[in-house]
Structure 1
Amino acid sequence: MIATSLPENDTTRPLRVREFFLARQPILDRNQALVAYELLFRNAATGPANVTSDLSATASVIAHTSQLGMEKVIGDALGYLNVDAAVLMSDIFQFLPREKVVLEIVETMKVTPEILARIEQLVKEGFRFALDDVIADTTEVKQLLPLVEIIKFDLRDMPLSALLKLTPQFKLAGKALLAEKVETQEQFDTCLKLGFDFFQGYYFAKPVILTGKKLSPSQLAIMQLMGQLNSDADTADIERSIKQDVSLCFNLLRLVNTPAVGARRRIDSVNQALMLLGRSQLQRWLQIMLYAEPCKKGHCMTPLLTLAATRGKLLELIAQQVEPRNQSMADTAFTVGIMSLMDTLFSIPMKDILEQVAVIDEVCDALLHRKGVYGSMLRLAEHMERIEEAGSMLDELIDRLRLGSEDLYNLQVSAFEWGDAVARSAH
C-alpha cells in the first residue's frame, strides 16, 4: 500500500482495499455520450450506510486505484474524485494521472490562503478542478472560481428558481456546468435548456414506456434468433436465420472478432462463429447487439450499452464466485444483468419483453420482481451503482451471496474493464 503524508490518527488511517466499496457514476455530455465517471468510495469497515465522508481515509484508496491503473476503472473516460483539505495538502497527487482526473472540491471545505495557494500550484501542474454542490454565490465560491473549470449543482438541493438565478452568472464566467442527481428525462431537458454541459445521474437508464411502441425489424430479428437459441433449434436453422439478415450477419461477425470476445483466431463465417462461440456465447453477443443497434443510427446509447454489459459481466462473475463449477448459472446471471435494462432500451414494459423471449422462470422472477438468487445478484449490482443510497441493504446482499468486499471490488474492476471494451467495439 502506498503511504501518504496524511496525519496519522484513527480517523485518517489508510483504508485497505477490502475495507471499501467502489462505485462509478456515469457523467454524460449534451449529446448523451459518456465522458466521465465520478468515483465514489464507501467504507465497508464502518458499518452500513456510511459513504465515507472522511476523505483523508480515501486518499490511500485513490492511490491504490491509480496503482492498479485507473484506466481499468474508468476506461477512456475521465475520473472525478472528491478532495478535501487533508487530501489537497497530501502528496497523493504524484500517483494521479493528471490528464485523466478532475478533482472535486467538496462544499464543506474551509478556504484558507494555504488551500488557495495549493490549488493554484496543482492547476499549474495540469490538474483540473470542479466545485461540488454549489448552492449560492458565496465568498468562498468567488475565491475558488478563477481556479475551477466546472461547477456542480445537486438537483436534489436546488429549487429551479435558484438554478435560474445562478447558472447565467457561472456561464458568463466561462465555467462548464454539471448537474448531478439527474433522475428523470424532464430534469435532463430542463438542464439542457438552461445551458448545462454535463449530466450525472441514472435518468438515461430509466424506462420511458411508450404505448404502442414496436420493435424495429432488426431488433425483432435478433429477438427471434434468441428465441431459436433458447428453444434448442437446429444449428442449420439458426445459421439460416442469421444469414437472412445481412446487417445482423455483418455486425455479428464484426463483434465476435473484437478483443472482448477473446477468440484466438479470426472468425470468418456464421458457422465458425457458432462452432467456436457455442450457443450461450452467441446468445450473449446477440443481447449486446440489441444495445449496440441505436449507436449505429447516431443515437448515442453507449452509456446504456456500457451499463448493461457491465451489469451482465458483474452478475456472471458473482455467479462464478458463488458456484465456481456451475457454468450454466453464470450464463443465466449474465442474461439477467444484460436484460435488466431492456425495458429502457425498447421503451416497452419488461413483462411484454419477456412474452417475446422465452426465458426460464428464475430469470422472469429476477427481472420482474428481483426475486431468487439472480434477483439478489441484480439488486446487489443496482445498489453498487447507487452506493450513496444503498444503506444496509448492500451489506445484507453481500452476506446473502457469501461475498467479501475485497472479492466484490476485484469482480467490479473486471466487469468495468469488460463493459468498457464491449462499448468501444460496438461503435
Structure 2
Amino acid sequence: MEKVYVGRQPIVNKHETIFGYELLFRSGTTKTAADVLDNSKATATVIIYSLNDLGLNNIIGKKKGFINVNYEILSSGLCEVLPNENTVFEILEDVEVTRSLIEICKLIKLKGYKIALDDFTYDESKKPLMEIADFIKIDVLIHQRDELLRLLKLLKPYPARLLAEKVETKEDFSYCVDLGFELFQGYFFEKPSVIEGTSVSSSQIILLELFNELSRERNIDYIEGLFKKNPELDIKLLNFINSAAFYHSQKITSIRQGIIMLGYRNLQKWIALMLFSKTGVDIKSNPLLERAAFRGFFMELLVNNITKNRNTGDQAFIVGILSLSDALMSMKVDEIVKKLNLSEEIKNALINKEGLLGEILMLIEMLERNELDEMDKILSKYKLSKSQIYEIETQAIMNFERMDITTD
C-alpha cells in the first residue's frame, strides 16, 4: 500500500498568532488531500496510523490539528487512536449528511474531539451538523461580500467558531475580522508591508555583526566576547542548545562551551532565526517566523538529499530563513543581502532564484501553493520524486517542532 505523507498549513487568530494547523495528506501519485481520502478505506487507515506512528504532537506541537476526514474514517473508529485534546476532525463538504453521520459525530464529541465543517455552504440539510460543529470553515474567495454577510447572519444562532479560508490579502483579513470571523487560513501574512525607509534596530545590528564575523571565521575569543557584551543573547543561546533538538547528556552552561558544541555553521543558522524575531515572540506562534524557520529546515534537508556537500546544505538553511526577509523586516531582499556577508550562491538564490539553492527555494514555494504539476521540471532535473519531497517535508516539520526557538 502506498505511503501517505503529512504537510500542514497554519490557522491563525485575529492577533495573527498560530491557533492550529490543517494537516495536508499527500502521496506519490495523488495531488490533494481529497484525492488521498477518496482512494479507499484502506488509505484512510494508513492516514490515521501514520499520524499515530509519527506522533501528532511531533507534527503540531501543542496546537490544534485539523484533519480532513470522510465517512469511512469517522465510522471506522480508527480516529480514536489520536489524542482528543488537540484533534479536530474536519468533515469534507461533499460528505452526505445522514442520521448515521450525525450520531457518529455526537459520539466523537462525547469522547472529547472537536468537529469542523469544511468549505461550508448553507443548506437546510446541514442544520443537524451546524448544531454540533465546533468550527465552520468558509471559503471567502468564492463568496461576494454581500453573500458573506447573509451567510454569517444565518450562522449567528449556532455555537460554532467561524474560520475564514483562503484569506490572501491584509485587506481581506481586516474585512473578515470586522465581519466576526475568529480564525483565518491563507497566506495573507506573507505579504510584505511598505518596504521604504525601514531602519535596522540596535538588536538586529548586533546580530548582523555576529553573523558577518562568523562568516569571516573570526577566532572563538572574539565571538565569545561579542556574546558577553550582550547577555540577553547568552540566555537565548543556552536555551536553544539545551532544547530537545540536541541529543547530549551534558547540560551546556557556558557560552564558550555552547559555541564549541554548536560550531560556527549552526550558530550562524541560529542567528539568522533570531535576526527576524522580536523579544518575547514565540517563533512557533508567529506564522511568518514559523514559515521562514520551517523553510530553512526543509531546504537544508532537501539539498542534503541532492548533494553531500555540507556547506551547500548550510547555505540552503540560510536561504530558507532569508527568503521571507522582505515581509519579516519590511525591507527589500537586496537591501538585506547588502547588510549580510553572504556567499554568491546565497545572493543569487535570494535575488534571482537561480542555481541549486534558488531552484530548491522555488520548489518549496510551489509546494506551499499546491502547484504540484509545476514542480515536475525541477524534480526531474535533480532526480527527485514527489514521494521524496513529501517525506522530507514531514521530517522537516518534526525537526522544527523539536527546536526551542522562543525569543524570551
Task: Give the TM-score taking structure 2 as reference length.
Answer: 0.91
Corresponding residue for 2:113? 127
Q: Which residue identity is paired with 1:55?
A: L
Partner of 2:177: 192
Distance 1:253 1:43 in 2: 39
Contact 2:283 2:407 in 1 (8 A): no
> Residue 224 of structure 1: SS of its match in structure 2?
helix
Alpha-carbon offset, residue 71 of structure 1: 1.8
- Matching residue of 2:59: 73
Q: Is the 8 A contact 1:104 1:131 kept in 2?
A: yes
- 2:22 match: 38
Instruction: Tell me which moved more, 124-133 or 84-93.
Output: 84-93
Shift of 1:425: 4.4
Change (3 A) 1:266 1:307: same
Q: Does 1:203 align with 2:184?
A: no
Give the whole-Å Cα distance in 1 for the aligned partners of 2:265 and 2:9. 30
Give the equivalent residue in structure 2 for 1:335: 318
Q: CA RMSD in A?
A: 2.4
Change (3 A) 1:384 1:232: same
Deviation for aligned residue 1:53: 3.2
Structure 1 unaligned regions, length at least 5: 1-14
Aligned partners of 1:402, 1:184: CA distance in 2, in Å?
36
For residues 211-245 of structure 1, the C-alpha deviation after alignment (integer angstroms, 9 at most, x for no partner) is: 21112110121012111111233433322222222
Equivalent residue in structure 2 for 1:379, among 337, 362, 367: 362
1:10-409 → structure 2 map (5 Å cutoff): 16-17=2-3, 20-46=4-30, 49=31, 52-53=34-35, 55-57=37-39, 58-63=43-48, 64-135=50-121, 137-291=122-276, 293-296=277-280, 302-324=286-308, 326-387=309-370, 390-409=371-390
Distance 1:22 1:279 in 2: 32
Q: TM-score, normalised by structure 1?
A: 0.87
Supply the AA of the counterpart residue of 2:375: L
* 1:365 shift after superposition: 1.7
> Alignment partner of 2:163: what SS?
strand
Task: Give the % identical residues.
Answer: 32
1:392 Cα deviation (Å)?
0.8
Question: Does the aligned pair in 1 maintain the 2:120–2:138 contact within 8 Å?
Answer: yes
Are the counterparts in 2 of residues 302 and 423 from structure 1 also a CA contact under 8 Å? Answer: no
The answer to whether the 8 Å contact 2:25/2:36 transfers is no
Shift in alpha-carbon separation, 1:110–1:301, aligned structure 2, 3 A = closer
Contact 2:272–2:321 (8 Å) recurs in 1:
yes
Distance 1:149 1:369, change over 3 A: same
- Structure 2: distance between partners of 1:129 and 1:353: 44
1:138-196: per-residue Cα shift (whole Å, max 9, x none)? 11232311121111011211222122222244244222010111122221111112221
Structure 2 residue identity aligned to 1:96: L
- Counterpart contact for 2:12–2:185, Cα < 8 Å: yes
- The AA in structure 2 aligned to 1:371 is E
SS in 2 for 1:53: helix
- Letter of the aligned partner of 2:298 in structure 1? L
Quote the offset at 1:420 in angstroms. 2.0
